[in-house]
Amino acid sequence: MKYAIIGTGAIGGFYGARLDKAGFEVHFLLHTDYQYVVDHGLTIDSCDGNFTLPSPKVYDSTSEMPQCDVVIVALKTTQNHLLPSLLPPLLKPDTIILLIQNGIGVEADVQQLFPSQPIAAGMAFICSAKAGPGHINHQFYGNINIGNYSCHNPQRYGQMLADFRAAGIGAADVEYLEARWKKAVWNMPFNGMTVALNTTTNRLLSCESTHRLIYDQMLEVIGAAQALGVKNLDTRFADKMIANTIKMPPYSPSMKLDFDFHRPMEINYLYTRPIAEARAAGFAMPKLEMLEAELKFITLSSSTPS
């Protein structure tokens, strides 16, 4: 299968590079890093072993890219308004759009943009960051859960999973809604709390008060998911997420990096949409509603001259 990477950053660049290294045909869309990667290649410093792609297939416009079998969208959701212009040159009728993005409700909105296109959700469990132009630092973990949103060809969907596994990526086929909400159990507390308190994951868990608050927020996400009919999700998953995070090195989630570098934060899909869906199902998330309000205030304050 032929792959396109839309968003060659910490996540898309890592998975695309792994697929390329394994021998799959991968086409990368780049923006500011384009000329650097043309000249120097794409470098991955990884806990699983460092490598460089000396001459990857890179482009600065999708109009020059070929149609592909799988288009991996790893842009921030704040850039999804660009998809109607970016994706059409890459799409065949059976091209799978794999959305490796954060939040709840993303697939439904992208499906409205491309009604007949098969869509899958990718939930990456990875600590990875851009270290510089054409340079990605993969620190920890790296598996991806993939949920089928609207792929009606099981052979092509299964081949995509098999390709990820052949590239050494732990890829699991998971129930879509369950997987999205499981990712939210970690994302909703840690992304916003690291911004609101200007800190890292390890410091949040080393303080008894914030450790408890993070856990309570996780329980709100689990309760919301259960109210929406999600199975196989209970307090044991929160315990697992806390334990896994304690094992991680000090980490700044994507929203914290966006805040630090004055980029738009993904408040809509990470907070507003899941809170609204929970409310519609009769479940309130007061601690996370408070965090959402704080993030909106921070956004307004950072964009308004003092």
Per cent of the chain over pLDDT 90 is 90
Report which of 189, 42, 168, 183 is spatially closest to residue 100, judged by C-alpha positions. 183
Q: Strand pairing partners for 141?
A: 126
What number is the average pLDDT over the span 111-137? 94
Which one-letter amino acid corresponds to residue 3?
Y
The model carries a pTM of: 0.93
Neighbours of 91 (CB within 10 A): 18
Question: Do you know the residue count of the chain?
Answer: 306
- pLDDT tens-digit map of 240-276: 999 999 998 888 999 999 999 999 999 999 999 999 9
In this structure, which CATH number among 1.50.10.20, 3.40.1670.10, 1.10.1040.10, 3.30.56.10 belongs to the domain 178-303? Answer: 1.10.1040.10
- pLDDT tens-digit map of 36-83: 999 999 999 988 888 999 999 999 999 999 999 999 999 999 999 999
Q: Which residues are catalytic?
A: 183
Burial 8-30 (b: 16+ CB within 10 A, else e): bbbbbbbbbbbbbbeebebbbbb
Q: Determine whether domain 2-174 maps to CATH 3.40.50.720.
A: yes
Domain ranges of the chain: 2-174, 178-303
